[in-house]
A and B are shown apart, each in its own frame.
Chain A
């Protein structure tokens, strides 16, 4: 008995843990799985598109289409004035009552009718933007919207805004996702790697 305990210090010449690691070909399985999972996890960007102004919607569409083109999953929560650019082209005045209809009379809906947040000058500003855009080969909001939807950017309309503006699902472009509320916005924002309110 005593000899046995005395001999013990000589026995762990080989560390059992090191031995186990050496026996395994490559890394332990669980380690590899965890590592791969973190490596292939898709990054996610969420943008809240609040404004209907040309100089706000434009960067939203640039960032969302670039995110999707970069393999970053992108969701755009579309709310308040931001909803009007996503109304179908053929819709001119939308809404159920005179107040809602007047709203769209003052702010014409549709992706081609965006105004500048400053220096609009009754449409002079956006017109000059359009001339400069063509001169320098910059894609229009319409082209970017087409690219974004083709690349899988998910546009989520705000149900509350739709109700308040009197917008029906069929008033909005077909590419839009199902309407949702603030809780959905909070959930996607907190789960994303980055979120922007533009």
Chain B
């Protein structure tokens, strides 16, 4: 089953905390259950997105790394 991605946040080239800030803004714009895909290049985002999803309650569905790009798939609670 492929996930229906509602929106993609391209945070590549941005440093902490902008990937989180931009994702928070994007997730506000979609409805509950909607899915956001985030692309980031900040290595710190690997830990940060795990922490952020715990704090907010949004579900981190997938987390992958491809070269210097990190991809996160998050479902809005």
B24's closest neighbor in chain A, by CB?
A69
Check A138–B15 contact: CB distance below 8 A.
yes
A139 and B55 within 8 A (CB): no
Asked whether any CB of chain B lies closer than 8 Å to the CB of A70, the reply is: yes
Contacts A150-B25, A151-B25; A70 near B55 (Cβ below 8 A): yes
Please tell me if the beta carbons of B14 and A139 are within 8 angstroms of each other in the complex: yes
- When distances are taken between beta carbons in the complex, the residues of chain B under 8 Å from A139 are 14-15, 17-18, 21
Give the CA-CA distance A72 to B57 in the complex, in Å: 12
Confirm or deny: A129 has a beta carbon within 8 angstroms of a beta carbon on chain B. no
- A70-B56, A71-B55, A71-B56 as given contacts; A137 in contact with B20, CB under 8 Å: no
Q: How far is the CB of B44 from chain A (nearest CB, A)?
A: 12
Interface residues of A in 121-170 (CB under 8 A from B): 136-139, 143-144, 147, 150-151
Contact A70 B52 (CB under 8 A): yes
The reply to whether A69 and B21 form a contact with Cβ atoms under 8 Å apart is yes
Chain B hits for A143, CB < 8 A: 18
Q: Is the CB of A70 within 8 A of B14?
A: no
- Shortest CB-to-CB span from A45 to chain B, Å, is 11
A138 to chain B, nearest CB (A): 4
With beta carbons under 8 angstroms apart, the residue of A66, A71, A72, A136 that contacts B17 is: A66
| Chain B residues within an 8 Å CB radius of A62 | 16-17
Decide if A147 touches B21 in the complex (CB within 8 Å).
yes
What is the bound-complex CA distance between A144 and B14, given in angstroms? 12
Q: Give the size of the chain A interface in residues (CB under 8 angstroms).
A: 18
- Which residues of A are found within 8 Å of B23, using beta-carbon distances? 69
**A68-B23 Cα distance, complex, nearest whole Å:** 12
Asked if B13 lies at the interface with its beta carbon under 8 angstroms from chain A, I say yes
Give Cα A138 to B21, complex, Å. Answer: 13
Verify B21–A65 contact, CB threshold 8 A: yes
A65 and B13 contacting across the interface, CB-CB below 8 Å: no
With both beta carbons as reference points, the residue of chain B lying nearest to A72 in the complex is identified as B55
Alpha-carbon gap, A65 to B14, bound state (A): 15
| CB pair B20 A136 closer than 8 Å | no
Residues in B lying within 8 Å of A, measured CB to CB: 13-18, 20-21, 23-25, 41-42, 52, 55-57
Give 28 CB contacts A-B under 8 Å: A43-B55, A62-B16, A65-B21, A66-B17, A66-B20, A66-B21, A69-B20, A69-B21, A69-B25, A70-B52, A70-B55, A70-B56, A71-B56, A71-B57, A136-B15, A137-B13, A137-B15, A137-B42, A138-B16, A139-B14, A139-B15, A139-B17, A139-B21, A147-B18, A147-B21, A151-B21, A151-B24, A151-B25
